[in-house]
């Protein structure tokens, strides 16, 4: 595992084997990142996010943000990204609107 010294990784975040975290990355609490993932500079992985193995999150992507909904409830759902995904520069992926639900990728199970 390689975590750049300028990255901010919350102590409760769970990182798998051989995860590469670039400079200025922010990984919040309640995050799980699978084996061999690569998180590039300035990416943000928000709470309530689970990434499977072999994912690549490119620069300035935000993964697991709050839902963009005018009537968002106080407690929202989760985000589950499966294995082998590429999340390109500047992409935003949001959590599910309702508690107990998940926004999932097509490869949510590995």
**Residue 63 belongs to some domain of the structure:** yes
| Total domains in the fold of the chain | 1
Task: Report pLDDT digits (tens) over 46-79.
Answer: 999 999 999 999 999 999 988 888 888 788 888 9
Q: Is residue 29 part of a domain?
A: yes
- Per-residue pLDDT at 28: 97
Asked if residue 59 is part of any domain, the answer here is yes
Write down the pLDDT at residue 72. 80
pLDDT of residue 31: 97
Give the integer Cα–Cα distance in Å for 21 and 55.
12
Res 108: pLDDT: 54
* Residue 110 included in any domain: no
The CATH number of the domain holding residue 15 is 2.160.10.10
Beta strands in the chain (DSSP E): 2-3, 8-9, 14-15, 20-21, 26-27, 31-33, 38-39, 44-45, 49-51, 56-57, 62-65, 78-81, 86-87, 92-94, 102-104
pLDDT of 87 higher than 90: yes
Domain that holds residue 41: 2-104
């Amino acid at each position: 595992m390689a975590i750049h010294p300028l990255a901010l990784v919350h102590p409760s975040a769970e990182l798998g084997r051989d995860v590469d975290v670039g400079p200025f990355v922010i990984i919040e609490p309640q995050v799980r990142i699978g084996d061999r993932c690569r998180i590039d500079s300035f990416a943000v992985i928000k709470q309530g996010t689970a990434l499977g193995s072999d994912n690549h999150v490119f620069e300035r992507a935000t993964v697991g943000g709050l839902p963009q909904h005018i009537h968002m409830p106080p407690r929202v759902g989760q985000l589950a990204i499966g294995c082998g995904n590429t999340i390109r520069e500047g992409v935003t992926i949001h959590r599910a609107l309702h508690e107990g639900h998940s926004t999932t990728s097509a490869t949510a199970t590995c």
